[in-house]
Structure 1
Amino acid sequence: MVPKEGGGPLIGRIGVEPGARVSAEVVAASVPIGKLDSLPTMLRAAQGTASAAATASGTLDALEAEVMATITPLRIGSVVLPSSELGVRLEPIRRGSPSGKLTPCGQPVALPFDRAEYDRDPIDGIFRVNGTMFGGQVALEDLRVTRQRKKTASGTIHLRNLDLEPLFALRPDPSGAAPPRGRVSGSVDLQAFAPTNPLAARGTLTLTGLRLERSGYTVELLPGTAPIAFGNRSVSVATAALRVGLPHGQALTLDVAGRVTDLGASPALNAGLRLRRTPLATFAGLVPRLERANGTLSGNLDVSGPLDSPRYSGGFAVERGELALRGLDLPISDIALALRVDGRDVTLVKGSARLGDGTVALRGGARLRGFSVDDARVRVTVQRLSLPAGPGVRAVADAELLAAYRPESNGGRRALPRVTGNVLLRSFEYRRPVTITADLQSLVQRGKRTEFEVYDPSEDAVELDLAIRSERPLKIANELIEAELLLADEGLLLSGTNARYGLRGVVRLRPGGRIVLRRSEFEVTEGTVRFDDPTRIAPEVDVTAVTEYRRYSDVSGTSSPSAAAQSASSAHAATGGRWTIRLHAHGHPDDLRVDLTSDPALPQDDIFLLLTVGLTRAELDQAQSASVGESVALEALGTLTGADRAVKDVVPLIDEFRFGSTYSSRTGRTEPTITIGKRLTERVRGNVTTGLAESREIRSNIEWQLSPRVSVEGSYDNVNDISSSSLGNLGTDVRWRLEFE
């Protein structure tokens, strides 16, 4: 016979003799596996063939048979299962004929059809199966299958380093992820198994080895695991030890024991899990920016009740914890955490840590729904915490925060934890050096920089809604600016997510601060910084500052001035070389506009040159340009090489050291200078400027701030072009600020 569906022929001999005696020999070659209707639906898509040789004897009522079968490797989609070899022997169960009657030819007469006997479904024989499957990875030892309508099976199945990846791949992950990999060894002692009711199977599973891998994580069964018993729709294990490997090579050990009952209906769980004491360094690779971890984590968790709504009990604790994070100058030390699980509630019994002189305290809890978090709320109290702001920036803050999480999503978006609360800055000092090297063109005419914002919503991990306030002014003190900033009563509002956040609010500059532009100090009269963008930190600056520029003798007094220079000088000769210069900086930092005006009025480029080299443009044309070039070159060289900062590092007593240039009334040209400054107290500061040319001009001043509105300044210089005295010039200024609203 040749099957219609393809494959090799079936060749054999079948004979029936008097007394219903059967004798048969059949050989089948290369029969397609997918065409056998008796196989499970999953295997009907398999590509492979089976070949078998069978013999039969006995009678129709007590049939005996023996089959030897070979199955080629099976391909199911992308999965390939190795070849198998099986031997099946049918042993009949003989039953006598109670009628005692014989046919004329001497054969026994069968009983009439008995419906009750048929419904009882007695066993007519036993199929005994032995052999290996999947290249010897599965061995069947005397697997007995009853010959009846509702078959049952019993026997032993050995697992010999069975590769689980092809079996997992038979049911692909809907997300398209690669299937888990792993191998298992052990044996199944099957006492009773009914294909029509597999959950009612009885037996034991003894595992001698198990290893699973996926996405860098591994689960490995440790020696000493008790056999897993199953029966009556339940599965139980007395004890099992699992080693869980993490992606970076660390591992933790879990002890598991428990029982699952009522499988197939309303499963219920009664299990316990114990985490052996584990070093916190084990989890270092799972936490971003974590460089070092000390301390231990341990705990236990008991689960009971219906599988869809279990109840929990137990707890976890962190002892003697210490974490070092990249970007933090100090480690987080004295970490102590204790979680208690009771029913469906998780309570943070204890939570504390130290960061430098600051402390962090946690309290709160969560509500569990099944195996997921339904609602979580944790309050965070921070006291005198030094914020990690980098070199040159010091900040100490208190905070009262609430971190909450609800799994419900809005508009299809995934739910994120939300952090709200208040941050109170106890102190803030910004002393990081700021260097500005700009010519007139780039200072007063800046084009807005083109920005491309890249925002990936998948990087959002937490939502922020924080109010930032300060109990005292924020201080900025460096070579460029020295000022105090005042926050409004409502503070600054920080909102958004960790991936995209913005700031709203107003910061006001306290009058009396100073801005240093070259060698001139501008006094801040008013200023605000406004934040209005909830998606980014985009300050709008509006600062006004003034300075009084004085020149000891007018350039027109120099020898042999040109006519143009005399004309330019005569325009301001009446003021005695004194100008009041007003600086107005406004706009976005990337499009900052700086306007310079003066009284008496000068063009903006003249004001900038006056502040830079001490000359207007007309006077610069008259002066010796070579000397000006040398002075400006020295100033630029000091800025670019960082020589000014290097001197302050070597001599810590100096607060200010810079190269500059100034106009000398003695020589009639601009000369290089060095300025050294020191803040003597919080309200007293002084500086000395000396020339590097042969004139050796010295200028010094000391300022004492008596109050926010009154200050006294004394000055001295050795520039004396009136008499031959070597004493020099002494002067005193009293400054009194009047504010009008």
Structure 2
Amino acid sequence: MNKRIRLFAALCLPLAILVQTAAQAQTQDTSERDRSLIVGFLEDNLSGAGRNIRIDGFKGLLSSEATLESLTISDDQGVWLTLTDAVLDWNRSALLSGRLEVEKLSAASIELIRRPETAATTTTPEASVFSLPELPVSIDIGAFSVDEVHLGPEIIGTQDPILLSVFGTASLKDGNGAATLEIDRLQGPVGSFRLDTAYSNADANLDLDLSLTEGQNGLVATMIGLPGTPDLSLTAKGSGPLDTFIADIELATLGQPRLAGRVGVSTIVDPSELQETDEGAQTATSVPQPKTRSFFADIRGDVTPLFDPEYAAFFGASTQLTVNGVSYPDGRMTLDDFSLGTDALSLSGALAIGTDALPTSFDISGTIQTKDGTPTLLPLAGDKRFIDRAEISAQYDATRGEVWSAKAQLSGFDQTDLTIKDVSVTAKGLISRKRHAELSQILRALEANIQIMASGIAFTDPALQTAVGPELAADTQLTWRDDGKLVISDFIVLSQDTKLNAAGTVSGLDSGFTFKGNVALDTPRLSRFAPLAGRPLKGAVNATAQGVFTPLGGGFDAQITGLGQNLEMGIPKVDALINGRSEFALTARRDETGLNFDSLTLQTPAITAQGSGTLTGESSNLELAVRLDDTARLNAGVSGPLSVDANVSQSTPTGPWQTTATMTGPGGSQANLSGSIANTFNTAALQLVGTAPLGLANNMTTAALVQGTAAFNLRLDGPLALSSVSGTITTQEGARAVLPATGLSLSFEKFEARLDNDNAQISAIARADTGGRLTAEGRIGVTSGLQTDLRVIVNNLTVSDPDLYSTTVNGNIAITGALLTGPKIVGALTLGQTDVRVASVALGAGGDILPITHLSEPSDVRQTRARAGVLATDSNDSAAYGVQLDVTVDAPNQVFVRGRGLDAELGGRLRLTGSTQNIVPIGQFSLIRGRLSLLGNRIELTEGELYLQGSFDPSFKLVAETNTDDMTIQVTTSGSVSAPAVDLTSSPELPEDEILAQLLFGRALTEISAFQAAQMAAAVATLTGGGNGIVGSIRDSIGVDDLDVTTSDEGDTALRVGKYLSDDVYTDVTIDSSGKSVINLNLDASDTVTFKGSMSPSGATSLGVFFEKDY
């Protein structure tokens, strides 16, 4: 090796001479070269991740004295170390002889401001190979000095910086070495460290003198946290040959010894190694031989002042450590006895290690318990931990067999957040040495069966208590053999009904272990982990992982499978996807090349997902395919299957993720996504192009029903926010919309939404099937509550309800404000000829649907009931705001109200204000002219009005008034157009049936004929639309059970009068407007059999028998 060094030096010598000659010729050029070449080389090679070194004022590397003005080391937070005015005085030519001779290495000051920032470890997909770090530079310093070393407050935890001086010497020559080191504190409490040591190969003599002294509040006492930071002294002194070396050690505080004792080593000479001198004395042979050495340690003292007073019960007044042992040249070692004792701790025993590094015997026992039996506070960092008692014992003797055993018992464990009543550990096994006949060697093996049981477990955290439970048990079987592998036959942990099981082989224990095997988890009740997760978890999980794992390097090659049953996370949209039986499988590996997902599958009743891919430090590629059976599971308002096929890839470590995806959704919707996402996942450049049926929106609102197809071409460029989206959404030919509330059916000639800068510019033209046109222009903001500014033009729009009204509308409407928090509609509408039809019969006269309780109601049935308005809803579910209104409706005339004998014309102006939740109408349509016709009687209308109160079913009131000789009669028709009410009043006051008789015939009710009664009933039908209020009064006054007015297909009116002659016999007589009558007779023979007979005016008769059964 030395020859190679000399050869390399000889080859470099001409270059060194050339450089030195050039240096003498051009000093300025040399300085620049020093900076550009040498300094750059040193800075580049000494710097690293999180460590940046800067050298200034570097001179004279090729001279006998090299200097630099300053050297700084910094990290991301700035400079943390500064060295100034450094000098290296050395012998250059000695390098040619393979020697480093440094006469002086000094610095004016070193300032250590703070601890350096630990460089963040970047997690990469690749697994690392476990190895010890290698330093880039080797440094050997002979003698050195630093005038001032500044230690910042962050270094030692003091308020003020610490100032030190350092001086040292070192020499190594001809087998003799010596070193001294002196460190003194320059400010504050006195403090000094001294080391003086020397060793000679000739006589194997070692001299050691180490001392540390400091006053109160000293540096060492502060750093190790001694209570009260007392003055401190530590000495270690010894001198003599290594064969009989003994060192005295003492630690003292406040001038009082705390720990003192001796440690030593001596050689046990084998008589076979001795030879006689001429005088007959025995000396060691000149040939060095491996030596048998005994060693000992005996240290004791009162250490309680070194700890907080609360630990006094554990240590007591005396702590002792004694060790006596022997090490043999063949590798054996014995600890003939060792003991460690305090007031609460007693640990002692003996141990023997064979030449094969396995124990040949041991006998160890120990207890922890205070003398008075009170709980013992253990001297451990962190939370305070108490125990009532702990006991351990272990025994083995190879001369008696291969079996070893050990046990430990702990009771009364108590810390801030956890108590355990009892913990027991039982272990037994074999230590065997068996000769292998074929290999001619002894094979070693260790076997262990370990059982752990903990009971009375109580966490203060209820969530942890529910998850772990009051008991925990573990059982494992381990085997280690000469091949270096540790076999885990079975490792089981039980906690309530949760079981963790593992089995496999651990190898490479000397180089970063590898585990090959399987791990299984079975938990039938996830609900026990719900409080810990903070979510209402439910269901059962059984998962297994098998393969090869290298924990220290992070590598693995594994297959993971899982089975879930009725899983729930308390997130409705997720629960809808994972409920039922869930199956999961993953095959993946991670090594030096990267992370590879060979296959990933997820199968539930709702979703199927498959994936694969590779992640490396250079490039990555991922494939994913997802199928959802019905989007209705997500309460998305749409129904139908959804499929997504996606690919993401990255070509460089910091490059963007290239993304493509194809989506097919409900109703034939489809979309293609392409573009890139930044490596930081905060910006993207993506384009989404596709089509979707407009009918998907029908499941989200009942205000409008649409059909047709929408095409979209959208782009996201910038931050992942709606403000970065641009593009267009348009409807294709055939797009239609139906507004059920208004009866309008619209065909879109054009619809376009152009997104840009937080806004969607809207342009739409639609024609109504009934005639007319709607045009909308404006914008809708995509943020801040959907701020809107739309202008709608209504042109000759025909609005009608076949049963109620028909009109033509013109005008302008503006929709402004935030759509999500309360927009406002302002505008003016003008009505053309308007026909309002008062319903001849009450619409929906079938009556209300009786309350029904729906069991296991399907979602589509519930949706149908909601649209029909028969689904009870919580008032709190309604919008918290109403649409503000300020709309003027003008109709100067030609508002005709007809039906039920009414023929009226109204006109006026109506202003709708308030909100959709509380419409406040101002103004009305008032009566211009009109009349009421009953049985040829024409009664002039004297009062009338028409107005809206929140729906498209207008409300009105019309009053007709006439005078007879004896009274004044008023007929008032009022209410909604679909279900008006009629009131008859008179002065003087009479019953309604009497008023009607006087109005029609000028007679009292008792004075009219049967035919006039039929006419009166027809008039009532005209007024009430089939109502029976007045008819009931007439029926009661003439003493019949049934009185009804009917109309034939030809429009003829007839009166039917019926009465029970007895409980089982019923008859009725029908008289038409021409005076013809029909008589019917019914006889109920039983609950199911009825005889019916009839006779017509022509004398024809009929008889029938009817069987009826209710079911």
TM range (shorter): 0.5 to 0.7
Asked if the contact 2:685–2:717 (Cα under 8 Å) also holds between the matched residues in 1, the reply is: yes
Structure-2 separation of matches of 1:536 and 1:394: 11
Alignment match, 2:662: 241
Alignment of 1:10 with 2:425, yes or no, is no
1:596 aligns with 2:986: yes
- Deviation, 1:184, is 1.5
Corresponding letter in the other structure for 1:385: L
User: In 2, Cα distance between the equivalents of 1:261 and 1:597?
Assistant: 87
Q: Deviations over 1:209-231 (max 9, x none)?
A: 554852365674456x5444487
AA of the residue aligned to 1:476 = V
Please state if 1:514 is matched with 2:931: yes
Contact 1:480 1:517 in 2 (8 A): yes
Q: 2:894 aligns with which of 467, 473, 482?
A: 473
Q: What's the counterpart of residue 333 of structure 1?
A: 747
State how 1:550-589 maps to structure 2 within 5 Å: 581-583=968-970, 585=972
Q: CA shift at 1:300, angstroms?
A: 0.4
Q: Does the 8 A contact of 2:743 with 2:799 survive in 1? A: no
Q: Distance in 1 between matches of 2:920 and 2:768?
A: 29
Preserved contact between residue 468 and residue 494 of structure 1 (Cα < 8 Å): no
Report the CA distance between 1:304 and its aligned residue.
1.2
Aligned to 1:426: 832
Measured on the aligned residues, the alpha-carbon RMSD in Å equals 4.6
Correspondences of 1:307-386 after superposition (within 5 Å): 307-308=720-721, 310-320=723-733, 321-324=735-738, 331-369=745-783, 374-386=786-798
CA distance in 2, matches of 1:626, 1:525: 32
Q: Is the contact between residue 129 and residue 143 of structure 1 (CA under 8 Å) also seen in structure 2?
A: yes
Structure 1 counterpart of 2:812: 400
Unaligned segments of structure 1, at least 5 residues: 35-45, 92-123, 147-152, 166-180, 193-200, 408-413, 437-452, 550-577, 649-656, 661-671, 675-690, 694-741
Q: Is 2:585 the counterpart of 1:138?
A: yes
- Deviation of 1:495 after TM superposition, in Å, equals 4.1
Q: 1:643 to 1:628 in 2, by over 3 A?
A: closer
Residue 261 of structure 2 is matched in structure 1 by none
Question: Counterpart of 2:877?
Answer: 458
- Pairwise CA distance, 1:428: 0.8
CA drift at 1:594: 3.8
Q: Secondary structure at the match of 2:702?
A: coil
Q: Is the 8 A contact 2:498 2:521 kept in 1?
A: no
- 1:161 paired residue number: 601
Q: Tell me, what secondary structure is at the counterpart of 2:474?
A: coil
> 2:643 touches 2:663 (CA, 8 Å); kept in 1?
yes
C-alpha contact 2:485 2:505 (8 A) present in aligned 1: no
Distance 1:509 1:468 in 2: 16
Q: Is the 8 A contact 1:503 1:537 kept in 2?
A: no
Say whether residues 1:496 and 2:915 are aligned partners: yes
CA contact (8 A) 1:361 1:381 kept: yes
Which of 24, 39, 52 in structure 1 is aligned with 2:503?
Answer: 52
Alignment CA distance shift 1:240-1:33 (3 Å): farther
Amino acid at match of 1:131: Q
User: Cα distance, 1:342 vs. partner?
Assistant: 2.2
Deviates more, 1:340-349 or 1:356-365: 340-349
Whether the 8 Å CA contact 1:159–1:184 is kept in 2: the answer is no
| Preserved contact between residue 946 and residue 954 of structure 2 (Cα < 8 Å) | no
Residues 473 and 326 of structure 1: CA distance in aligned 2, closer, same or farther (over 3 Å): closer
Aligned-residue offset at 1:427: 1.6
Amino acid across the alignment from 1:393:
Y
In the superposition, relative to structure 1, how do residues 454 and 469 fare at CA in structure 2: closer, same or farther (>3 Å)?
A: farther
2: CA distance, partners of 1:602 / 1:631:
20
Cα–Cα, structure 1 residues 158 and 636, in superposed 2: closer, same or farther, change >3 Å?
same
In structure 2, relative to structure 1, the CA distance for the partners of 1:581 and 1:238 (3 Å cut) is same
Can you list the C-alpha shifts for 1:623-656, whole angstroms capped at 9, x where unaligned?
7x556556657777998688658546xxxxxxxx
Deviates more, 1:124-133 or 1:583-592: 583-592
2:546 aligned with 1:86? yes
1:299 is matched with: 712
Task: Look up the SS of the partner of 2:800 in the other structure.
Answer: coil
Partner of 1:67: 516
In terms of Rg, which structure is larger? 2
Which residue of 611, 620, 633 maps to 2:999?
A: 611
Deviation at 1:606, TM superposition (A): 6.0
Distance 1:521 1:673 in 2: 24
In 1, Cα distance between the equivalents of 2:652 and 2:541? 29
Partner of 2:1061: none
Letter paired with 2:623 = T
**Alpha-carbon distance, 1:361 to partner:** 0.4
Cα drift, residue 273 of structure 1:
0.7
CA distance in 2, matches of 1:340, 1:380: 17
The separation in 2 between residues aligned to 1:502 and 1:493, in whole angstroms, is: 6
User: Does residue 1:545 correspond to 2:961, yes or no?
Assistant: yes
Query: Offset at 1:268?
Result: 1.2
Tell me, in whole angstroms, the C-alpha distance in 1 between the residues paired with 2:512 and 2:590.
19
1:422 to 1:464, Cα distance in 2 relative to 1, 3 A: farther
State the alpha-carbon separation in 1 of the partners of residues 975 and 837 from structure 2. 22
SS at match of 1:134: strand
Task: Report the Cα distance in structure 2 between the residues aligned to 1:163 and 1:306, rounded to whole angstroms.
Answer: 34
Could you tell me whether the CA contact under 8 Å between 1:635 and 1:659 is conserved in 2?
A: no
Q: Do the aligned residues in 1 keep the contact of 2:670 with 2:690 (CA within 8 Å)? A: yes
Task: Give 1:269 shift.
Answer: 2.0
Are residues 635 and 137 of structure 1, via their aligned partners in 2, closer, same or farther at CA, if it must alter by over 3 Å?
Answer: closer
SS of alignment partner, residue 996 of structure 2? helix
Residue 31 of structure 1 aligns with an amino acid whose one-letter code is V
SS of 1:415's partner is coil
Stretches of structure 2 that go unaligned for 5 or more consecutive residues are: 1-449, 455-471, 527-536, 564-582, 843-871, 1027-1043, 1056-1070, 1077-1111
- Kept in 2: contact 1:243–1:252 (CA 8 A): yes
Q: 1:496 to 1:154 in 2, by over 3 A?
A: same
Q: Secondary structure at the match of 2:669?
A: strand
Indicate conservation of the 8 Å contact 1:483/1:509, yes or no.
Answer: yes
Report Cα offsets for 1:349-403 as digits up to 9, x if no partner: 443333322100010112233xx75412221111111113233522111232122
The 1:191–1:81 alpha-carbon spacing in structure 2 relative to 1, beyond 3 Å, is: farther
Letter of the structure 2 residue corresponding to residue 545 of structure 1: E
What letter matches 2:927 in structure 1?
A: L
Structure showing greater relative contact order (alpha-carbon pairs closer than 8 Å, 6 or more residues apart): 1
Which residue of 262, 267, 273 corresponds with 2:688?
273
1:391 paired with 2:803, answer: yes
1:83-127, Cα deviation, whole Å (9 max, x unpaired)? 213122559xxxxxxxxxxxxxxxxxxxxxxxxxxxxxxxx8674
Q: 1:54 deviation in Å?
A: 2.2
Pair 592,218 (structure 1): closer, same or farther in 2 beyond 3 Å: closer
Alpha-carbon distance, 1:137 to partner = 3.7
- TM (norm. structure 1) is 0.57
Displacement of 1:52? 1.9
Task: Determine if contact 2:586/2:601 at 8 Å carries over to the other structure.
Answer: no
Aligned mate of 1:206, from 608, 620, 623: 623
Q: Alpha-carbon deviations, 1:635-687, whole Å to 9, x = none?
A: 77998688658546xxxxxxxx8789xxxxxxxxxxx997xxxxxxxxxxxxx
Looking at structure 2, the residues matched to 643 and 478 of structure 1 have their Cα atoms a distance apart, in angstroms, of 18
**Corresponding residue for residue 120 of structure 1:** none
Q: Distance in 2 between matches of 1:362 and 1:484?
A: 33
SS at match of 1:612: helix
1: CA distance, partners of 2:479 / 2:612? 40
Contact 1:2 1:9 (8 Å CA) reproduced: yes
SS in 1 for 2:732: strand
| CA shift for structure 1 position 282 | 5.5
